[in-house]
Structure 1
């Protein structure tokens, strides 16, 4: 009797599904204390969801970080700021710098905070691209993924070479580099950094993966053009266009490389690797098989490390420019160079002068510096160019030999010695690139050795600068990453990201950024990875969300002119205020 009653009652307890709405009925019997599955008689339950057997494939990004994580974040931030301040004070004390006025040090502090702020914004703006694939394939939990990425960004900065840092500086107007400690020099630094930060924050707020590298290059060009126009020259004369074009090619080709090679890598995987699990989208919150998970984590790690190594250098180069302008006695010359190496440098300068005099025996009357400055700015050689370079090389050799080592150069002479070295190095670089001089192999070899000695004396980055930038970039990785992650993970393709797609996009991004770092070229992590994801979507036949692609293309097209206009306008404004 009880069995018949249960069967009849079960007929009243059923779920009727209409599209995305399910209606559940129950009766009075089910209100029995031992049956808690229903709470009312014949009560319809409306649920705006699909069948319970289908899990939501999207990762949960709304989980708040724990209190311990927040405390650690702010503790590391405070320690980083204190470490930076201590390192500055220590270097000033070692050089015997006397504090006579607070103004330059306040400017230094503000400039350093802005430069580190640029790297912080760069962290959450660009590094979100690196973690999007591991998050959307359930390879790592979201918050653990960003901490993991931040740590390897930190390592990438610490182990970077510095080549990209000084490649960025080469884009700046030579007269502002030589007078970086002046009001115009500070106006340049503030304008290009603030313009880059504003544009990066704007595109981040809109969820657009725009390029921080693209933005910074545009800001530098804007300052150069504005500086030239304000001095009554042609706007194009304020930028080293050969270097800008070289960097422009890297920024232009990197997304095309990301798209094409990621697509080809995915097709190659499908042709040679027949494991079906690799080409499936994640099921709910289930992580992928261990070998796929390991591959995705490894590529994410590689992209994070390469991003830190490449993008972190841009901030380091600008920070060194700030330090040279405000504290030349401590940072204009590499005072850690041994005395024996300094004397070798002086000897190389002397033999270089002799070789140049043989190539152009006509004597130079007057100061060689204006001749070299004009050549570096205009790239137009004159008959006096080689004699001027010979004269300045001889003066540098005499100065270094007279002081005995770079550590003994007096504070009042440091700025002039560095400027002489910078002019000589840039002149040799441009002459070599333009095939100016028609030197024999012996003279050309001595010139390159002389340039190498100059670069060793002036192009250095203290360890504390690397650590400060690494902390800023690493901490920035852990803030504000969700907007960009959602765009890359959900809004580029029409289908969910598969394991093979994520691994292909990350692998190509890691190799492209790593190669660019080896050659000293700044490339965009954003462009390479987002275009790589798009390439895998096309290769997989899943299609693209054209609205997002149009927005990405608009951000890519508008970033350069917007940054140029913004930084140029800010530079003009700051020169009026300072």
Structure 2
């Protein structure tokens, strides 16, 4: 039974990674496509490649997911069975919420859906949720990263407008379109660095639970490659519904604003992953940066009604994914008993 559950967890984790890719593809490329810096297909191909590369650049976020959200220490095979059902239910809850928000075209956070799923299923299975770590590495970054993204994007955009205040519009626009190919690639690299590692962390958690891996051994290479490939394939399949929301519905972007939004978002993702080991939301980061650059036109240029709906999705993601995961745990556990 344990082998079957581990296989199911790995399969579902890679499915989640794939849905993460098409759900969050818009994060990396929506601004570049909306400003016509890149064609949709070229942007998706570039994002897929950079997602794959980014996924292999580190494991700190994966280790946070595996060890700092819920404690699945087990003393016997019965507890190991329950712990695997917790991971399975967490993934189902996260995938369900991803699909719901994708269908509605809302850029919610796949990262927070997964974390919410782990918390909900962990509580349902009577395991210990490490609330201190959740607050320090999830809740605080969840609040801080959008504020930082908005503020830095606003400030940098003001600086760009001042520096290029006397420049000719035509060449300047063409220059920023070219620059956006670099900033979009950087954003896609950061997305892979953050989000693919979360899938690695879940698979590693399952392997630790049944004793097939040890914390000091690190994440196996096959797990890294599988997670990187899954998120890349998902990204290449595209997320057109959410792309329209990020690229057009929040604000009509020009190449300069697209470049600044992507650059700031990429920096925030790198710092959070490499410096703080915090699993932040790429969705929140790029959305808040888009709002920041948009606000430099005038506050009314940002469609705050759309922004409010996105914020509601952010707030609901962790509790809704937790609820779905808890219900799934009770159902699956009762069937497998």
TM-score by length of 2: 0.92
Higher relative contact order (CA 8 A, sep 6+): 2
Query: Number of aligned pairs?
Result: 331
Aligned pair partner of 1:298 in 169, 176, 182: 182
Q: Does 1:225 align with 2:147?
A: no
- Paired residue secondary structure (1:540): coil
| Aligned ranges 1:340-359 → 2 under 5 Å | none
**Deviation for aligned residue 1:325:** 3.9
- Paired residue secondary structure (2:271): helix
Name the CA shift for 1:273/1:558 in 2 (closer, same or farther; >3 Å): same
Aligned pair partner of 1:164 in 61, 66, 86: 61
Q: RMSD in angstroms over aligned alpha carbons?
A: 2.0
Give the aligned partner of residue 250 of structure 1.
141
Give the aligned partner of residue 294 of structure 2.
537
Residue 6 of structure 2 contacts residue 84 of structure 2 at CA under 8 Å; is this kept in 1? no
Residue 171 of structure 1 contacts residue 221 of structure 1 at CA under 8 Å; is this kept in 2? no
Higher percent of residues as helix: 2
**Deviation for aligned residue 1:146:** 0.4
**Deviation for aligned residue 1:278:** 7.8
TM superposition outliers: structure 1 runs of 4+ over 6 Å: none
Residue 128 of structure 1 contacts residue 481 of structure 1 at CA under 8 Å; is this kept in 2? yes
**Deviation for aligned residue 1:256:** 1.2
**Deviation for aligned residue 1:480:** 3.8
| Aligned ranges 1:329-348 → 2 under 5 Å | 331-333=212-214
| Aligned ranges 1:79-98 → 2 under 5 Å | none
Q: Which runs of 5+ in 2 are unaligned?
A: none
Name the CA shift for 1:488/1:140 in 2 (closer, same or farther; >3 Å): same
**Deviation for aligned residue 1:178:** 5.8
**Deviation for aligned residue 1:172:** 4.2
Give the aligned partner of residue 128 of structure 2.
238
Q: Which runs of 5+ in 1 are unaligned?
A: 1-102, 229-236, 281-287, 334-454
Name the CA shift for 1:186/1:492 in 2 (closer, same or farther; >3 Å): same
**Deviation for aligned residue 1:279:** 11
Residue 279 of structure 1 contacts residue 498 of structure 1 at CA under 8 Å; is this kept in 2? no
Give the aligned partner of residue 322 of structure 1.
206
Aligned pair partner of 1:213 in 107, 111, 119: 111
Aligned pair partner of 1:467 in 207, 218, 225: 225
**Deviation for aligned residue 1:166:** 1.4
**Deviation for aligned residue 1:293:** 2.5
- Alpha-carbon separation, structure 2, partners of 1:195 and 1:564: 7
- Alpha-carbon separation, structure 2, partners of 1:470 and 1:500: 30
Post-superposition CA distance 1:268-288 (Å, at most 9, x none): 1111223252898xxxxxxx5
- Alpha-carbon separation, structure 2, partners of 1:115 and 1:576: 22
Residue 112 of structure 2 contacts residue 318 of structure 2 at CA under 8 Å; is this kept in 1? yes
- Alpha-carbon separation, structure 2, partners of 1:550 and 1:106: 43
Residue 211 of structure 1 contacts residue 524 of structure 1 at CA under 8 Å; is this kept in 2? yes
Give the aligned partner of residue 98 of structure 2.
200
Name the CA shift for 1:276/1:192 in 2 (closer, same or farther; >3 Å): farther
TM-score by length of 1: 0.55
| Aligned ranges 1:165-180 → 2 under 5 Å | 165-176=62-73
Aligned pair partner of 1:499 in 217, 239, 255: 255
- Alpha-carbon separation, structure 2, partners of 1:550 and 1:119: 27
Give the aligned partner of residue 30 of structure 2.
132
Name the CA shift for 1:514/1:206 in 2 (closer, same or farther; >3 Å): same
- Paired residue secondary structure (2:125): helix
